[in-house]
Structure 1
Amino acid sequence: MSLPYTILILFIFSTSSSYLIPLAHSKIARLGISSKTLKNEPDGSTQKVDESNLKMYYFNQTLDHFTFTPESYMTFQQRYAIDSTHWGGAKANAPILAFLGEESSLDSDLAAIGFLRDNGPRLNALLVYIEHRYYGETMPFGSAEEALKNASTLGYLNAAQALADYAAILLHVKEKYSTNHSPIIVIGGSYGGMLAAWFRLKYPHIALGALASSAPLLYFEDTRPKFGYYYIVTKVFKEASERCYNTIRNSWIEIDRVAGKPNGLSILSKQFKTCAPLNGSFDIKDFLDTIYAEAVQYNRGPNFWVAKVCNAINANPPNRRYNLLDRIFAGVVALVGNRTCYDTKMFAQPTNNNIAWRWQSCSEIVMPVGYDKQDTMFPTAPFNMTSYIDGCKSYHGVTPRPHWITTYFGIQVYMINQISFRNTFKLNLHSSLYLLSLVLIITRLYDPCFTRVEYLIIGYKIFFGIFLEFLDFLCVLLEFFLHHQIVVRIFLGLYHQV
């Protein structure tokens, strides 16, 4: 399978001072390095993680890094893990690779990521994995019940606090191992990739560089893409199979038509084998929409998820005549598996992780995702900021700050022409390659979280002649698709030249 990639260079010249809200027209598949819902997904990772080399620790973390009120001095236990098996030691200034946790528990992250395990031994690196506050076992206020109960306790859950947590732990690790001169490369995927890039911006004295996979750094109100999340979902399905695309496109009207019949919701419930009666056609449409989004967002081999869904939708089984909704249901079974019944709310269960992420998406990680008119596989329903804010206020009692991320992290956006390359390499992480002040970001061109047609350069200064000087360097960067360790070697090479 040939995948087009776009390679571009982004520079940030940093100085040394330095469960989703279920609202109509404002939904996005959860970020994350792997699907948290489809545990038995087709072609899912079956790699067994050897934890014998991992040592778990708990760091006495400060609740509030940015105020000096009595409550801010409260602490909680933050979980992190270290693998020192292949570390070259402090005397050799051997590197430290630090995985910055995202909206998931450390346990599931360890099972999903392989970059550190693959490259640590080759680089003689110390491997550090840090769990994000309010996820997994890292719960302030003593328990998840207390930490997640209301806006007063959830108020300490934000990106700035998480970055400060990581800074404190990494400095603690360097002190623990007496390795003041070992360079640190921070690594993350999706939301964790955003954190890795932001960490390099805010803490350049701690992290030499960062690698961010599929980090939607520009998907905010101030940098809203012209073609959004569901445009990419549509594009991927259409290129996979025009027939499949048309079937899905026509299914929404058919669902509404059946729902409008006497006992229509019961008919739909039976058709899709739902575990509970449907309250309206929206229930099944929202479920299907998430199925398609998950298939694209976590599309991976050896049998790519979108291809599996479309093959099932397009199939012509012997001795049976499929109607349109039969085909749609076959696509669901192909991705989710054969079950006795299907929970239409399976992607929005009130787990601790979903509750915490819902707070983040209702406070500062406000991504304007809707169904725009060019997203032709879906009925048009643009993102509505007013209804989004009203929904968040109703649920949490607080108003989202849609401009805060771009304000706090100081992103300035400029336009740049794209340089396109075609290749046949396949990436595990749902992830065009760009570099910003020793931050390397990887993302598939068809990643719905990164959707700019007019690719962007971030930074305080732009060097328009940079491409001629860096053509040879770009060729070297292409090797990244074959040898991931080149990323770290680039950073370490620059470090040793200082």
Structure 2
Amino acid sequence: MESVLLLSALLLLLPPVLSARAAPAARVMWPGLEERLFPQVRDHFSFETCGNETFPQRYLVSAKFWKKGFGPIFFYTGNEGDIWTFAQNSDFIFELAEEQQALVIFAEHRYYGKSLPFGIESTQLKKTALLTVEQALADYAVLITELKQQFGAADCPVIAFGGSYGGMLSAYLRMKYPNVVAGALAASAPLLSVAGLGDPTQFFRDVTADFQKSSLGCVTAVRKAFQQIKDLCLSGAYDEISSKMATCNKISNKEDVYQLFGFARNAFTMMAMMNYPYKTDFMGDLPANPVKVCTEINLTFNSNNVTDMFPEMPFTEAMREQYCWNKWRVRPRAHWLRTNFWGEDLKSASNIIFSNGDLDPWAGGGINSSLSPSLIALTIKGGAHHLDLRGHNPADPPSVTEVRKLEAKIISSWVKSAGMEQVQEQRVGAAAGSQP
């Protein structure tokens, strides 16, 4: 049972990573960042369900660097969590705002943080129907439009920013509301894999590859440990599993074992995603280079077979469908993202940067090749999950520094182009108005 003990030791190195999402760290007031609420429409697409009822949507705003009325607006499309968490881990946006004199806005995603359409009842089954990508994008489009009026920024171009699911939203916002946003930086955005395109086994295979690169023995030991735990489960040796894995509560059935497998896999997944060259408290307290730290335990097994190291944790389409039905009483619409958000047919879009780090297991499900001169794919060598959105750090790999410089240059060109288009439109309008 040496492998089980090694797995337990590996996980004990980084206990906070086992939680689905750590609580936000103590809030630092980023440059002039203020928390505000906006009366957002509950349902943008039907008057029958909620009429014109609203809910308080939270957003954060900083005008510290803004050239009032002229500088661009940098808008972060919040994803699945407290908006402060993302603001505190996206310093690049503030650094770029200082350079380009931008107004900064971080918008919280409906149903997360304090942005609850039905208050504490929002997660009840009959209250979750309004938790959709379409509603979230409409929230952002409405919020941007209203805030531009409030700030006297009607002519200020808007650039959307986002990471992971938030990166998908920033790309979708540019695609669906090009009249509202002039461009988007979609960092670590798995648009293809989430739409059901590509290899469904890619993600956990790439998590495995991250550990394989650091230590051949780690992958073999983890795979062997999962098998040993499964064997103990089949023989009903739940007490032995509890003892060797040092669980807080005793394992007593197959469902408990499956949950243990899930916690273990999540831990390795988080380490791969957050494999930054410096310590972070984003989504869990992690040391610098957590994959390396994890694999430095003396492991003596060897293997050259880079396959999923979690064979006891399959997650097929049928299993996902069953989970969604059991949990939320909904069934996934397999092809809807390809239809409504274009899937891989993105060539008619424009002004989107797709950035991915080669250490990030989500990268294989994203856009990794430029599709046109204005649909640009950037790869960060030695970069983990949306590393480019994080602020400058002395430990950064040179590649992310270069990518940030290129992103800044591209975004500046979008802002200037949007400004020139507005001037041209005003001239055309003035000329038309002067005609007899």
Equivalent of residue 95 in structure 2, options 109, 113, 118:
118
The equivalences for 1:310-459 within 5 A come to 310-312=295-297, 314=299, 375-379=307-311, 383-413=315-345, 437-451=350-364
Query: Contact 1:185/1:208 (CA < 8 Å) preserved in 2?
Result: yes
Residue 451 of structure 1 aligns to a residue whose secondary structure is helix
Residue 405 of structure 1 aligns to a residue whose secondary structure is helix
Q: What is the match of residue 343 of structure 1?
A: none
Whole-angstrom distance in 1 between the partners of 2:213 and 2:273: 15
Distance 1:244 1:87, change over 3 A: same
Whole-angstrom distance in 2 between the partners of 1:477 and 1:234: 23
Whole-angstrom distance in 2 between the partners of 1:275 and 1:62: 43
Q: What is the match of residue 265 of structure 1?
A: 238
**1:4-32 per-position Cα deviation (integer Å, ceiling 9, x unaligned):** xxxxxxxxxxxxxxxxxxxxxxxxxxxxx
Percentage of matched positions with identical amino acids: 26
Q: Does 1:149 align with 2:62?
A: no
Q: What is the match of residue 84 of structure 1?
A: 63
What residue identity is the alignment partner of 1:248? V
Q: What is the match of residue 414 of structure 2?
A: 491
Whole-angstrom distance in 1 between the partners of 2:193 and 2:345: 12
Cα deviation for residue 157 of structure 1 reads 0.7
What residue identity is the alignment partner of 2:274? Y
Query: Contact 2:75/2:105 (CA < 8 Å) preserved in 1?
Result: yes
Distance 1:221 1:71, change over 3 A: closer
Q: What is the match of residue 72 of structure 1?
A: 51
Distance 1:453 1:241, change over 3 A: farther
Q: What is the match of residue 197 of structure 1?
A: 171
Q: What is the match of residue 101 of structure 1?
A: 78
What residue identity is the alignment partner of 1:84? A
Cα deviation for residue 95 of structure 1 reads 0.6
Using structure 2 for the length normalisation, give the TM-score: 0.75
Query: Contact 1:210/1:438 (CA < 8 Å) preserved in 2?
Result: yes
Q: What is the match of residue 159 of structure 1?
A: 133
Gaps of 5+ in 2: 1-16, 279-287, 378-398, 422-436
Which is helix-richer, 1 or 2? Answer: 2
What residue identity is the alignment partner of 1:76? F
Query: Contact 1:197/1:211 (CA < 8 Å) preserved in 2?
Result: yes
Equivalent of residue 236 in structure 1, options 200, 210, 218:
210
How big is the alpha-carbon RMSD for the aligned residues of Structure 1 and Structure 2? 3.3
Distance 1:273 1:222, change over 3 A: closer
Distance 1:194 1:268, change over 3 A: same
Q: What is the match of residue 3 of structure 2?
A: none
Whole-angstrom distance in 1 between the partners of 2:355 and 2:242: 41
Gaps of 5+ in 1: 1-33, 316-323, 325-372, 416-434, 468-475
Distance 1:70 1:295, change over 3 A: closer
| Higher RCO (CA-CA < 8 Å; seq separation 6+) | 1
Whole-angstrom distance in 2 between the partners of 1:414 and 1:313: 47
Query: Contact 2:356/2:368 (CA < 8 Å) preserved in 1?
Result: no
Query: Contact 1:226/1:452 (CA < 8 Å) preserved in 2?
Result: no
Residue 218 of structure 1 aligns to a residue whose secondary structure is helix
Q: Does 1:55 align with 2:29?
A: no
Whole-angstrom distance in 2 between the partners of 1:486 and 1:377: 41
Query: Contact 2:161/2:186 (CA < 8 Å) preserved in 1?
Result: yes
Q: How many residues align?
A: 367
Residue 108 of structure 1 aligns to a residue whose secondary structure is helix
